[in-house]
Amino acid sequence: DAKTTQPTSMDCAEGRAANLPCNHSTISGNEYVYWYRQIHSQGPQYIIHGLKNNETNEMASLIITEDRKSSTLILPHATLRDTAVYYCIVATYTDKLIFGTGTRLQVFP
Amino acid sequence: SQTIHQWPATLVQPVGSPLSLECTVEGTSNPNLYWYRQAAGRGLQLLFYSVGIGQISSEVPQNLSASRPQDRQFILSSKKLLLSDSGFYLCAWRDTILLPYEQYFGPGTRLTVT
């Protein structure tokens, strides 16, 4: 499975959009992009996934570049409860998700 | 609705002692089940996954084993714990039919080996 590169940490003001980037330049054609987040001392929570097209759900939007080598997770109106570590994962099979160290997002008042 | 239980929540065990962590899922049938470990300050590492009763796939050679004696029960075991087994152990499940792309995680067990 391809590896991903994410910034170690990011800050975002409450109420503003949080844009979390992810590079996955070696992604193959049948690999999906998944996003999970982990609030301190809890299990990870699924956010969204995509293959080629941009996706949106009640939690976030996922923007995937046309060449699929990078993506951005967008939290449209960040709240303090969105403070967490965000993991970008690329994988063919949902059974074999490899979690890296992710991006630590700090939302401040 | 579906729920996942793990116990105990915290555990302190001496080196060389045995380990048994249990995970059960309610509200779903024939889920895929997973065990992960998270060492301090690190990402999650997939240890085992199971697609059915008695079917276990090991992802990382180690001091641990897993078993699935019932459809919705997943057990992580060790005969003799090592210091390096310390970490946060997470169980997860996936509904391969209704929500095939999502894994749902339990609350975790924090294990300290002393």
**Which of B90, B100, B105 is facing A94, going by the closest CB pair?**
B100
The rounded percent of chain B whose pLDDT value lies above 90 is: 82
Residue B104 amino acid letter: Y
C-alpha span between A71 and A4 (Å, rounded) = 10
Q: How many angstroms separate the CA of residue B89 from the nearest CA in chain A?
A: 9
User: What pLDDT, on a 0 to 100 scale, did the predictor assign at position B81?
Assistant: 96
Q: Would you place residue B34 in the very low, low, confident or very high pLDDT band (cuts 50, 70, 90)?
A: very high
Q: Does A94 contact B94 at a Cβ distance shorter than 8 Å?
A: yes
The number of helix segments (H) and strand segments (E) in chain A equals: 0, 9
Write out chain A residues lying below 8 Å of B103, CB-based: 36, 44, 46, 94, 97
Structure tokens belonging to residue B111: 């294990």
Q: Is the pLDDT of residue A93 over 80?
A: no
Q: Is the pLDDT of residue B33 over 80?
A: yes
**Which of A42, A99, A100 is facing B107, going by the closest CB pair?**
A42
Q: What is the mean pLDDT of residues B85-112?
A: 93
Q: What is the mean pLDDT of residues A58-87?
A: 97
C-alpha span between B38 and A42 (Å, rounded) = 11
Across B54-77, b (16+ Cβ under 10 Å) vs e yields eebeebeeeebebbbeeebebbbe
Write out chain B residues lying below 8 Å of A101, CB-based: 42-43
Write out chain A residues lying below 8 Å of B56, CB-based: none
Computed over every residue of chain A, the mean pLDDT equals 94
Q: CA A85 → CA A5, A42, A66, B53, B66, distances in Å?
A: 14, 11, 26, 33, 28
Q: Does B46 contact A98 at a Cβ distance shorter than 8 Å?
A: yes
Least confident of A21-25, A71-75, A98-102, B34-38: A98-102
Q: Would you place residue A1 in the very low, low, confident or very high pLDDT band (cuts 50, 70, 90)?
A: low
Q: How many angstroms separate the CA of residue B101 from the nearest CA in chain A?
A: 6
**Which of A49, A95, A100 is facing B43, going by the closest CB pair?**
A100
Q: Would you place residue A15 in the very low, low, confident or very high pLDDT band (cuts 50, 70, 90)?
A: very high
CA dihedral B22, B13, B39, A46 (to 10 degrees): 20
Instruction: Decide if A40 touches B, using CB distance below 8 A.
Output: no
Structure tokens belonging to residue A50: 């995509």
Least confident of A81-90, A98-107, B94-103: B94-103
Q: Does B101 contact A95 at a Cβ distance shorter than 8 Å?
A: no
Q: Is the pLDDT of residue A2 over 80?
A: no
CB A11 within 8 A of CB A104: no
Structure tokens belonging to residue B46: 């997939």
Instruction: Decide if A43 touches B, using CB distance below 8 A.
Output: yes
Q: Does B103 contact A100 at a Cβ distance shorter than 8 Å?
A: no
Q: Is the pLDDT of residue B99 over 90?
A: no
